Amino acid sequence: MASTFCPLRLCIADKEQRKCLIGLLKNHKHFNWDTIPLTSVSKLDKVFTVTEGKYQGNSSWSGNVWTLINEMVIRGLLDCGETEMAAELALKTVYAFNHNCAEFINPFDGRGHGVIKYAWSASQYIELIVEVIFGISYNASKKEVVVLPNLAKELQGASLSLKNIKLSADVKLSVFIEDGQVSYWLSDNTLKVKL
């Protein structure tokens, strides 16, 4: 099960366990790393099943790709310092769910199944772009914005931007990345910005 990777969160797995988990995670034969990751169950497990159509309980969690699982694994990779892998999985997840925010997707052809316009998938799609790829976090109590992009190799050197992100009722942020350089526009110049 892809829940095997939960101990990456908060560095619960020790160094040796992390090494084993990461090796398993990147093994395409198990979790589809090289195409549309992550299958919710190893492709080599006897319970592996790809569900098409409506949600079907446990079988839908036995092979399909879910943002719920991928987001948890991405956060775990970030927690244990595997930023390049986190960036790669975040981008693959965004690509897979782009214009396809279904409840879950087929790991072989990328077609969406379950609820086709699934709010949870859509919100995690946006979360991965804003918080992981662009690395934006906002702390209203500290009056602080942090922008630390985490770009997969294929995005490094690209021109990227997110414009007019609403951080609060009164605060908007735009972030621009050009040749690895980050710049921003913020509607409230009393906020501290860390790049």
Task: State whether residue 9 is helix, strand or coil.
Answer: helix
pLDDT along the chain (195 residues), means of 10: 96 96 97 97 97 92 96 97 97 98 97 97 98 97 96 95 95 95 95 95
Residue 145 DSSP class: E
The pLDDT assigned to 119 comes to 97
Report field, pTM of the whole predicted structure over 0.75:
yes
Residue 34: burial class (beta carbons within 10 Å; 0-12, 13-18, 19+):
exposed
The pLDDT assigned to 108 comes to 98
